[in-house]
Amino acid sequence: MLTLNHVEVADTFAEAFPMSGARIVITAGTLDWAETAARECSGNASSVIGCDAEVAIEQTLTPEETPDGRPGVSLLAFAFNTKGLAKAVVGRVGQNVLTCPTTACYDGLDPELRTSHVSIGGALRYFGDGLQSSKKLGERRFWRMPVMDGEFVCEDRFGVCDGVGGGNLLLCGTNAASTLAAAETAVAAVRRVPGCILPFPGGIVRSGSKVGSRYAKLRASTNDPYCPSVRALTESCLPDGCQCVYELVIDGVSFAAVQEAMRAGLHAAAVCDGLLHITAGNYGGKLGKHHFHLRDLL
């Protein structure tokens, strides 16, 4: 067993999966409206087990950091493949950004990460009902659609990267309050790492899952080895004295980004009172090709 600041760290690894990812930049007349659109666009997007994509806010952007010189917010979106990503992003931008006052939407992916592209503005332009127009600046094309407060501008194509989904940390503590405090501290540290998101509510998972179920129709079910209330009824993995477990799930635009986010979260959590043990979830290395060894994060 490894240790960090007197907290046990399991000598194991988090197993993560290849995903297709996009970076969506939303701007608006004010930061409040950009954030409103971003929150709506990233709703119901915690896990691809039951959602069309995993989406969350990455960071806020100053006017100097956006294509149109207005305040903005960047989102990262991940899906199992490019086709699924395109469908999810078109639907979310069309329903939650196009509809929001004063917004515009742009591709924010670094060119060196781009492996393919998807049509976003090119798909949404038909909402203009023949009155839409396009503008090309350099190699980038933008569509302008008339709306009731002026026009909605959306970039034609968005870059797609070979992302990584499912980096994770399991935080085991003595009680719910101290374990939640440790998880919140870890979330704050992870959010300072660019190129990563924590797609679950507030960045924290209370209902960790395992693959499969005794019910054939379910792809996943509760991760009972880490549920304190049934430790006497299952093959428990809980350390002595543990009464609560919270999980952080991290998606990123690259292996390096997820690894750095996991390192930041691990070190931040390990200084918190009441934390007993930090481990990670994997499937024996059989399902996901990306393995993040906790030993390497120390």
Output the pLDDT for position 108. 98
Asked if residue 24 has pLDDT above 90, the reply is yes
Q: Give me the pLDDT at residue 47, please.
A: 96
Residues with Cβ within 8 Å of residue 187, at least 6 apart in sequence:
198, 202, 203, 204, 248, 265
Query: Cα separation of 168 and 278, whole Å?
Result: 10
| 37, 39, 45, 46: CA torsion to nearest 10 | 170
Q: How confident is the model at residue 59 (pLDDT cuts 50, 70, 90)?
A: very high
Average pLDDT, the chain: 97
Domain boundaries, the chain: 2-15+164-297, 20-161
Summarize pLDDT for 103-151 with one digit per residue, the tens: 999 999 999 999 999 999 999 999 999 999 999 999 999 999 999 999 9
Nearest to 9 by CA among 240, 283, 266, 261: 266
Phi, psi dihedral angles at 271 (to 5 degrees): -95, 0
pLDDT value at position 152? Answer: 98
| Residue 67 to residue 65: CA distance in whole angstroms | 7
pLDDT score for 128: 98
pLDDT at 1 over 90: no
Tell me, yes or no, if the two domains 2-15+164-297 and 20-161 fold the same way.
yes
**Residue 109 phi, psi dihedral angles, 5° rounding:** -75, 135
Q: In CATH, what number does 20-161 get?
A: 3.30.70.520
Report, as an integer, the average pLDDT of 21-35: 98
In CATH, which of 3.90.1150.10, 3.30.70.520, 3.40.50.1000, 3.30.70.1710 is domain 2-15+164-297? 3.30.70.520
Distance CA 150, CA 144 (A): 10
**pLDDT single digits (tens) 183-212:** 999 999 999 999 999 999 999 999 999 989
Residue 293 pLDDT greater than 90, yes or no: yes
pLDDT above 90: percentage of residues in the chain? 97
Give yes or no for a contact between 191 and 282, defined as CB atoms under 8 angstroms apart.
no
- pLDDT band, very low/low/confident/very high, at 275 (cuts 50, 70, 90): very high
Other CB atoms within 10 Å distance of the CB of residue 290: 19
| Coil vs helix vs strand at 154 | strand
Q: For position 286, what pLDDT does the model report?
A: 81
Distance of CA 166 to the CA centre of its chain: 9
Any residues with CB less than 8 A from the CB of 263 and at least 6 apart, and which?
A: 297
pLDDT of residue 283: 86
Percent of the chain at pLDDT > 70 equals 100
Confidence of residue 287 (pLDDT cuts 50, 70, 90): confident
pLDDT band at 284 (very low <50, low <70, confident <90, very high): confident
